[in-house]
Amino acid sequence: LGVEGVQSVLFIFDKSDVLAGVLVTMPKDPVGIFKTLSTKYKVVSNRIDSFMKYGSARLEKGASVVDIDAPHLSFSMEVRYMTKSFVAAHNRIVQEEAAAKERKKASAL
């Protein structure tokens, strides 16, 4: 990919075999990657602590979303490039699973 230090890359395709997401795990540098990406994408949220070098951020451009996730006390971070339709589908599935879990819990009582 031409990005120094990349530890792993996961490509996610939709049902039509169209690329819907890319998850890149790399050494932790959220401040640097945010600075680079913010010149190309619109900043939606920035919760990166520049002193402690951890946190998260979301950037968007057109139909694309980029999430930066740098956990505290970790040596690596994840940068996720996704389509907005993939994010919406993922969120819908997560909500459906949570609702099913609640229904199962309620029926067990």
pLDDT in tens, 18-71: 999 999 999 999 999 999 999 999 999 999 999 999 999 999 999 999 999 999
Which residue, 31, 47, 39, 33, is CA-closest to 5?
Answer: 33
pTM of the model: 0.84
| Sheet containing 64-70, strands listed edge to edge, beginning at the edge strand earlier in sequence | 8-13, 19-27, 76-83, 64-70, 54-61, 42-49
54 strand-pairing partners: 49
pLDDT in tens, 2-20: 678 899 999 999 999 999 9
| Location of structure tokens 């990166």 | 48
